[in-house]
Amino acid sequence: MIYHQLFAQIDRTVRVGVIGTGQYATALVTQSRVVDQLDVPVVCDTNPDAAQNAYHHAGLDSDKTIIADTGKQATEAIERGKHVILTDAMQMMDLPLDVIVESTGIASAGAQHGLEAIRHGKHVAMVSKETDVTVGPILKHRADEAGLVYTAVDGDQHGLLMGLVQWTRDLGLEVLCGGKSLDSDRVYDPEANAIVWSKGKIHIPDQRIFAAQTAEGPSAHVAQRRKTLGQRGAIAGYDITELTIAANATGLVPDVETLHTPIVRTVEIPEVLAPKEDGGILSQRGVIDCVSCLRRAHEPGLGGGVFIVVACENDYSRRILTTKGLISNAKGTTALIYRPYHLCGVETPITTLVAGLLNLPTGALHYRPCFDIVARAKEPLKTGDQIGTDHSTNLEYLMRPALPVAPDNPLPFHMASGNTLSREVPAGALITASAICAQDNDPLWMLRKKQDAHFLGESAS
């Protein structure tokens, strides 16, 4: 890989500070121990035991770490070769670090940490998709102005999809559709006449619509498969969150605001997620979407992976695509390129090294707020109800064109999440800014106001 050659030209170690030590960030900390030119001397978590656990998994027990109460203590400990645990992320900002990895998963905290890291001359690798989807473009703009990097990360699906789309476009291929798979595959068991997945099993009334081949083709059965499985295999809010980030980074657009999320075998993707004139279900080209992967028990899955469906203008090149390994549709007009995995923090060292050594993002070069994730009530919501997370099942999540925050406009979902309703929201209604008490002192709300003013101009006033 060319990264190795580029990194080898710069004789320097990249020092990384990690904020938030969930599963994702812990993998980054552990992997950093075996990656040349990468060091994670500081980890921050409001729960110091969680931070210590991350270092423990990396082979660093408590005798090699220290909990620092101040930035000065942390600096002195780093100079002595200790690995530092902090509980206050602000103490990290003045430490001798190159890159801050924000992985709290809390939108407001991520906004504050990202902004302060840039103010203190540090690159930002944003794992917290809740922050990125809401104010990522303005944070990237601030970083660009400062000559710093703000980037999504390799390891998460939206970051990997950005890279896959850019690689494909660099080759001169047209991206008809790009997307991700839901994490859990739907396994078809013809003997039991059932669909099985990680959380249950459902018996199906008509095996034919799940069979591998039918005369009508797979696109004809998309609606029937969805009706049979209902919400089992439907897209979740966190999936739309990630895909909204990828849409803003790549220029791909939703074909429908709820996304199609067809239940398909991997081999059916280039047939189904193709324009209607090619036998697919898409009404336009250049779409972002999601799939729920259907397979038999012995077949490889796509759970957690990313994909693109491509077209090629040149007949000779198109013949290469469809005869040298890519799965194509029946007409031979589309082909599938896919990556059936994402390795979370195990892959993120590449992002931190590219930022710290090359001053470049692995995510988007150009990042504009074209779309937001917003929410619609599935059931009546009462005054005083607290809005949940993008895992909540009483909300329907939509990808809609971005609008400035204003009373009658749908509120970007992660600005509503965790806040209480100031009025009732009937079933079927969108959660608007007027339904939530404005959080004017919240870093997320303040940054979003600046993002609206910068990118949406007078309409943001």
Residue 106 covered by a domain: yes
CA distance 105 to 103: 6
Over its C-alpha atoms, the chain yields an Rg (Å, rounded) of 23
Tell me what the pLDDT averaged over the chain comes to.
Answer: 94
pLDDT band at 213; cut points 50, 70, 90? low
Based on the domain organization, do 236 and 251 belong to the same domain?
yes
Reply yes or no on whether the pLDDT at 199 is more than 80. no
Residue 366 covered by a domain: no
Residue 336 covered by a domain: yes
Q: Which helix (H) or strand (E) holds 267?
A: none
Contacts of 413 (CB under 8 A, 6+ apart): 237, 241, 372, 373, 374, 375, 390, 397, 431
Based on the domain organization, do 384 and 257 belong to the same domain?
no
Based on the domain organization, do 240 and 336 belong to the same domain?
yes
Based on the domain organization, do 185 and 317 belong to the same domain?
yes
CATH number at residue 455: 3.90.1210.10
Residue 363 covered by a domain: no
The CB density around residue 211, as the number of other CB atoms within 10 Å, is: 12
pLDDT tens for each residue of 236-287: 999 999 999 999 999 999 999 999 999 999 999 999 999 999 999 999 999 9
Tokens 């992660």 label which residue? 414
CA distance 330 to 68: 62
At residue 387, the pLDDT reads 96
At residue 200, the pLDDT reads 78
pLDDT band at 209; cut points 50, 70, 90? confident
Q: Phi and psi of 39, rounded to 5°?
A: -140, 135
Based on the domain organization, do 212 and 323 belong to the same domain?
yes
Residue 405 covered by a domain: yes
Task: Tell me the Ramachandran region of residue 242: left when phi exceeds 0, alpha when psi lies from -120 to 50, beta otherwise.
Answer: alpha
CA distance 99 to 42: 11
Residue 443 covered by a domain: yes
Q: Phi and psi of 292, rounded to 5°?
A: -105, 110
CA distance 392 to 161: 25
Higher pLDDT, 200 or 108: 108
Q: Are 412 and 451 in contact (CB under 8 A)?
A: no
Q: Which residues pair with 14 in a beta bridge?
A: 38
Task: Tell me the Ramachandran region of residue 286: left when phi exceeds 0, alpha when psi lies from -120 to 50, beta otherwise.
Answer: left
CATH number at residue 100: 3.40.50.720
Q: Are 348 and 125 in contact (CB under 8 A)?
A: yes
Q: What's at 34, amino acid-wise?
A: V
Based on the domain organization, do 193 and 304 belong to the same domain?
yes
Domain boundary among 328, 358, 388: 358
**Vertex 157, ends 234 and 24: CA angle to 5°?**
105
CA distance 291 to 186: 11
Based on the domain organization, do 351 and 412 belong to the same domain?
no
Q: Which residues pair with 328 in a beta bridge?
A: 335
For 129-146, b/e burial (b = at least 16 CB within 10 A) is bbbbbbbbbbbbbbbbee
CA distance 332 to 326: 10
DSSP 259: -
Q: Are 232 and 197 in contact (CB under 8 A)?
A: yes
DSSP 460: G
Residue 364 covered by a domain: no
CA distance 272 to 394: 29
CA distance 106 to 128: 7
Residue 397 covered by a domain: yes
Based on the domain organization, do 150 and 17 belong to the same domain?
yes
Residue 422 is part of which domain span?
A: 371-460
Coil/strand/helix, residue 46: coil
Based on the domain organization, do 330 and 392 belong to the same domain?
no
Based on the domain organization, do 6 and 145 belong to the same domain?
yes
Domain count, the chain: 3
Task: Tell me the Ramachandran region of residue 279: left when phi exceeds 0, alpha when psi lies from -120 to 50, beta otherwise.
Answer: left
pLDDT band at 182; cut points 50, 70, 90? very high
pLDDT tens for each residue of 320-333: 999 999 999 999 99
pLDDT band at 146; cut points 50, 70, 90? very high
Domain boundary among 325, 358, 391: 358
Based on the domain organization, do 10 and 48 belong to the same domain?
yes
Domain boundary among 329, 358, 387: 358
Based on the domain organization, do 30 and 177 belong to the same domain?
no
